[in-house]
């Protein structure tokens, strides 16, 4: 393994490219436009891997991220976040450069944009399909029709359709759970489509969560998908049922700095500022990461019974299986699969390939 001196995010390019290829083929199979979300990797290079796999349009979660990817030559960008009016200046600049799509969920946002936008943009109405995070409930027909009417009157807001992130799929704990939630999302969307007295060919529907996009088998009534996490997956996705642990494309290599035989624990350099504080519960115990066996190419299969049991700012405490504890020595390196790769990637800021090559984020 390349020389590790501090917590280092390893990326397995083969797994990542296979995850990309699988989702590309799934979109093709279901005749869906594929507009992957870039928030997980935030990397120009991984963007190129997507481009090589045929991707032409992308999704991002901030104006800053949109500007970065516009500079990388992406020309069809959806900012999948309720439009932030305080960034209208940057939005105007972006709209000159690329085919920009915004999420506009409120008449007051639409009215302000109508006054302040310098050039036309496309807009999605965001739908709340059960996650209760952002967007209009699919049952709010009056609110949705009111927005569509505003867009029809507007010379700068060109209505494109609906966007939804069914984040409640994260509560799933099996493929069956995911498919049940996915079906309820489709039902809500298709009920809305029936209720709207319009030709459904004039607008599109885009949905965007990794669990449903990974395990859904029916995409009736859907035109586009925009998952993000699938490029790396992580332990949370494995627990949800979206992927196998062998599909996880990143791990954090952490130096071992101390050993505690009485507790069968080791201390590692790798804490909340590297992993984030996200955890999954297994057997009633919070797990902040799972240790994988080391391998020449980074890591191999999970080291059963060995997990990240505690995190403070820079410290990690790993609970070890008896066999692993005996092997781990101060000065060695352990590789830890992250609970939430989006946050871990954002915190670590760059990727290390097995070749030693580094890939940066914006």
> What are the residues binding its own copies (CB under 8 A)?
3-6, 39, 61-64, 81-87, 90, 105-106, 108-109, 112, 132-134, 137, 167, 255, 257-259, 262-263, 267, 269, 272-273, 276-278, 310, 312-315, 317, 329-331, 333, 342-343, 346-347
* Nearest alpha-carbon partner for 281 in 179, 177, 178, 173: 173
Is 33 within 8 Å of 223 (Cβ atoms)? yes
Q: Is 330 helix (H, G, I), strand (E, B) or coil?
A: coil
Q: Please identify, using beta-carbon distances, which residue of 18 and 85 lies nearer to its own copies.
A: 85
Q: What sign has the CA pseudo-torsion 235, 238, 242, 247?
A: positive
Query: 205 near 161, Cβ under 8 Å?
Result: yes
Whole-number minimum distance, CB 103 to its own copies, in Å? Answer: 9
C-alpha torsion angle, residues 16, 17, 23, 27 (rounded to 10): 150
**Residue with smaller CB distance to its own copies, 58 or 302:** 58
CA distance 35 to 101: 12
In angstroms, give the least distance from the CB of 214 to its own copies: 18
Q: Smaller CB distance to its own copies: residue 195 or 330?
A: 330
Compute the distance between CA of residue 47 and CA of residue 49 in angstroms, rounded to an integer: 5
Alpha-carbon distance 40 to 150, whole Å?
A: 33
For residues 133 and 304, which CB has a smaller minimum distance to its own copies in the complex? 133
Residue 117: C-alpha distances to residues 122, 215, 225, 320 (Å): 12, 39, 27, 57
Q: CB of residue 298 vs its own copies: minimum separation in angstroms?
A: 17
Say if residues 126 and 82 touch (Cβ distance below 8 Å).
yes
Q: Name which of 157 and 302 has its Cβ closer to its own copies.
A: 157
How far is it, in rounded angstroms, from Cα 305 to Cα 294?
15
Q: Which is nearer to its own copies, 84 or 184 (CB)?
A: 84
Q: Which is nearer to its own copies, 30 or 277 (CB)?
A: 277
- Closest approach of its own copies to the CB of residue 286, in Å: 12
Q: How far is the CB of 257 from its own copies (least distance, A)?
A: 4
Nearer to its own copies, 35 or 39 (CB): 39
Distance CA 10, CA 106 (A): 42
How many whole angstroms separate alpha carbon 250 and alpha carbon 233?
8
Q: How far is the CB of 273 from its own copies (least distance, A)?
A: 5
Give me the least distance between CB of 29 and its own copies, in Å please: 28
Q: Which of 84, 89, 39, 86 is nearest to 60 (CA)?
A: 39
Cβ of residue 3: shortest distance to its own copies, in angstroms?
Answer: 8
Question: Residue 314 Cβ, how far from its own copies at the closest point, in Å?
Answer: 5
Cβ closer to its own copies: 13 or 61? 61
Nearest-angstrom CA–CA distance, 331 and 309: 20
């Amino acid at each position: 393994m390349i020389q590790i001196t501090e917590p280092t995010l390893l990326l397995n390019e083969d797994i990542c490219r296979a995850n990309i290829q699988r989702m590309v083929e799934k979109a093709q199979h279901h005749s869906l436009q594929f507009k992957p979300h870039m928030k997980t990797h935030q990397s120009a290079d991984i963007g190129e891997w997507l481009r090589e796999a045929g991707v032409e349009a992308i999704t991002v979660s901030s104006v800053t991220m949109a500007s970065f990817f516009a500079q990388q030559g992406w020309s069809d960008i959806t900012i999948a976040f309720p439009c932030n009016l305080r960034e209208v200046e940057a939005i105007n600049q972006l709209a000159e450069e690329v085919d920009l799509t915004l999420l506009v969920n409120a008449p007051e946002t639409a009215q302000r944009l109508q006054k302040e936008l310098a050039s036309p943009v496309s807009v999605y109405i965001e739908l709340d399909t059960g996650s209760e995070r952002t967007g209009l409930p699919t049952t709010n027909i009056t609110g949705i029709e009111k927005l569509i009417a505003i867009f029809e009157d507007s010379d700068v807001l060109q209505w494109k359709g609906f966007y939804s992130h069914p984040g409640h799929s994260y509560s799933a704990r099996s493929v069956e759970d995911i498919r049940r939630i996915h079906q309820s999302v489709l039902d809500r969307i298709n009920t809305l489509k029936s209720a709207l007295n319009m030709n459904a060919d004039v607008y599109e529907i885009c949905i965007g969560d990794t669990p449903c996009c990974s395990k859904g088998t029916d995409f009736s009534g859907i035109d586009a998908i925009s998952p993000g996490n699938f490029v790396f997956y992580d332990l949370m996705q494995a627990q949800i049922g979206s992927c196998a642990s062998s599909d996880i494309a990143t791990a954090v290599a952490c130096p071992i700095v101390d050993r505690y035989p009485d507790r069968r624990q080791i201390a590692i350099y790798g804490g909340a500022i590297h992993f984030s504080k996200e955890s999954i519960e297994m057997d009633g115990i919070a797990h902040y990461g799972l240790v994988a066996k080391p391998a020449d190419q980074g890591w191999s299969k999970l080291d059963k019974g060995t997990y990240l049991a505690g995190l403070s700012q820079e410290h990690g405490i790993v609970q070890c299986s008896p066999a692993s504890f005996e092997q781990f020595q101060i000065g060695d390196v352990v590789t830890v699969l992250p609970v939430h790769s989006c946050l871990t990637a954002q915190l670590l800021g760059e990727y290390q390939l097995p070749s030693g090559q580094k890939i940066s984020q914006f």
